[in-house]
Amino acid sequence: MAAKSRRKRQAKVLRQTRSIHRWTGLALFLFFFVIGVTSVLLGWKKDSEWIMPSTARGSSTELAEWLPTPELVTRAQTALVDSLGPAYDPAIDRLDFRPDKGAIKFLFKDHYGEVQLDGATGEVLSVGIRRSDFIEQIHDGSIVSDGAKLVYSTVMGLATIVFTVSGFWLWYGPKRMRRG
């Protein structure tokens, strides 16, 4: 009789686990789909010019030969407006120094434009759009707000744990029940 009672409890736990797995999946389907698509795109970002411009090579990897940063900033801002137009605000968000490639990337605050300059000559190596930054903001929820990012990341991380544990149990539970 104890074996039958244990088997009933195991079957009940399995049904509850299946229900949790199913309803959580339905509730979060769209979010998991978005995370999956954006993960694939982010995985390909360095291999797709459309997602993110590749890093160009400058003429010198010696930082001592590079132009002063303020001069490079001015050149990058000018190149941005000349190439993409005055609608693109030249306010700098961050600089990405690539001494091993002799280049510096300029990323801007209010859009996804990017300018790459030769660190030594100041020559424009590339002007493009970094769609990867937009994709990353969708992926992590920061496109809404930093607070939304925290909630979204927490919910999706916990949901991934729930799916991993419940999925394992849905696979292992019936095997365990058959063994008796």
Residue ending a domain, among 89, 112, 129, is 129
Residues whose CB falls within 8 Å of the CB of residue 52, separated by 6 or more in sequence, listed in order: 45, 46, 130, 131, 132
| 73 and 108 assigned to the same domain | yes
Closest CA to 152 of 22, 30, 23: 30
Residues whose CB falls within 8 Å of the CB of residue 15, separated by 6 or more in sequence, listed in order: none
Residues whose CB falls within 8 Å of the CB of residue 106, separated by 6 or more in sequence, listed in order: 72, 73, 76, 77, 80, 92, 95, 96, 114, 115, 116, 117
| 73 and 8 assigned to the same domain | no
pLDDT of residue 10: 84
The 10s digit of each residue's pLDDT in 104-149 is 999 999 999 999 999 999 999 999 999 999 999 999 999 999 899 9
Domain that holds residue 120: 53-129
The 10s digit of each residue's pLDDT in 145-168 is 989 999 999 999 999 999 999 899
| 65 and 39 assigned to the same domain | no
| 75 and 39 assigned to the same domain | no
| 30 and 58 assigned to the same domain | no
Its pTM stands at 0.80
| 65 and 121 assigned to the same domain | yes
| Tally of structural domains, the chain | 2
